[in-house]
Amino acid sequence: MGVEICVEGLTKSFGRQVIWQDVSLTLPAGEVSVMLGPSGTGKSVFLKTLVGLLRPERGSIRIAGQDITTLREHELYEVRKLFGVLFQDGALFGSMNLYDNIAFPLREHTRKPEGEIRRIVLEKMDMVGLIGAEDKLPGEISGGMRKRAGLARALVLDPEIILFDEPDSGLDPVRVAYLNQLIVDLNAQIDATFLIVTHDIASARQVPDNIGLLFRRELVMFGPREQLLTSEEPVVRQFLGGRMQGPIGMAEEKDAAQVEQELAQLGEAADAAVPDVLELTPRLLPTEGIERPPRWVEIADREALRRLRASVRGRAGDA
């Protein structure tokens, strides 16, 4: 079914450095959400906090109704079985071949016999296109293959919650397209709750139900894909547009006067860049034969999209 994750007022610091503060969002059960944000804004820290590897200073993370920030280590161990996580660096064991790497969570967390473990491992390896590479060591394969091995390992426990930290970084564009299709198909088939960190705007536009953006130690916005893609908020527009002009600078934030000047220079071009919800990039559909989750708005139904836009505007206005 997937489970809902409800984050409220979450704050994380390291010593005196606040990474982000007062982050509140709900990852709806069974939906795909993407988290965007400039490098260093704490996206990876956010994922690690959700799995309980890092402790927040304030706030709560309710998973299936339970606040995991209050759990002890041995209780967290149980909660972690709900998760399938692909860390940013892949985190494969260098001395183990791919087969053993992918089998590791099954051997660690279950008492399944080796025959069944073999069936599951080969099924997941097939899913990510790694059949034949069972005996390879992580050091002997390409970065993209390591990434896919990490994906397979994240899936072996049939997780309710899937966290992928930049699954597409270091992949060529064709592999990114395959990966996106795999995510959409997986989500339709296993219906887990997904949170994906990515820098790939094209993927962020097509794949998720929801998009969030971290910037300047805050969650600037989190909501349905359509809400973010049609947002007039300058930070959101700059990021989704991949533009230099706007509040986000190379190293840190720019001063207000400079931002205003840049946006004025963009002028009408900036306004024209706000797409109408009817013109949005269509979302990626599951492969033919895989049933679509019922929550999806029929893209073909323009009337449904109009209603959706009205409701999104309404909700954005309430906030």
Ligand X SMILES: Nc1ncnc2c1ncn2[C@@H]1O[C@H](COP(=O)(O)OP(=O)(O)OP(=O)(O)O)[C@@H](O)[C@H]1O
- Of 43 and 225, the one with the shorter C-beta distance to Mg ion is 43
- Applying CB under 6 A, does 14 fall inside the site for ligand X? yes
Q: How far is the C-alpha of 64 from the C-alpha of 2, rounded, in Å? A: 9
Residues 36-75 that bind Mg ion (CB under 5 A): 43-44
Instruction: State the minimum distance, in angstroms, from the CB of residue 197 to ligand X.
Output: 7
- Applying CB under 6 A, does 43 fall inside the site for ligand X? yes
Surface-to-core class of residue 79, CB atoms within 10 Å of its CB (0-12 exposed, 13-18 middle, 19+ buried): middle
Q: How far is the C-alpha of 95 from the C-alpha of 185, rounded, in Å? A: 32
Joined together, the tokens standing for residue 1 give 């079914």
> Contact, 162 vs 207, CB < 8 A?
no
- Applying CB under 6 A, does 224 fall inside the site for ligand X? no
* Count of residues engaged in binding ligand X, rule: CB under 6 A: 11
Helix locations, 194-279, DSSP H: 201-206, 225-229, 234-241, 256-272
8-state DSSP, 69:
G
Q: In sequence order, what E strands does 115-217 have?
A: 161-165, 193-197, 210-215
Instruction: State the minimum distance, in angstroms, from the CB of residue 203 to ligand X.
Output: 14
Which residue among 18, 22, 40, 140 contacts ligand X (CB under 6 A)?
40
- Of 3 and 85, the one with the shorter C-beta distance to ligand X is 85
- Of 40 and 173, the one with the shorter C-beta distance to ligand X is 40
- Of 30 and 247, the one with the shorter C-beta distance to ligand X is 247
- Applying CB under 6 A, does 45 fall inside the site for ligand X? yes
- Judged by beta carbon distances under 5 to 8 A according to partner kind, the member of ligand X, Mg ion, none in contact with residue 70 is none
What residues does 164 pair with on adjacent strands? 86, 196
Instruction: State the minimum distance, in angstroms, from the CB of residue 309 to ligand X.
Output: 30
Terminal-to-terminal C-alpha distance of the chain: 29
- Applying CB under 6 A, does 147 fall inside the site for ligand X? no
85's CB contacts (< 8 A; 6+ apart) are 47, 51, 154, 162, 163, 164, 165
Which residue among 2, 28, 37, 150 contacts ligand X (CB under 6 A)?
37
- Of 199 and 309, the one with the shorter C-beta distance to Mg ion is 199
User: Which residues would be at the binding site for ligand X (CB under 6 A)?
Assistant: 14, 19, 37, 39-45, 88
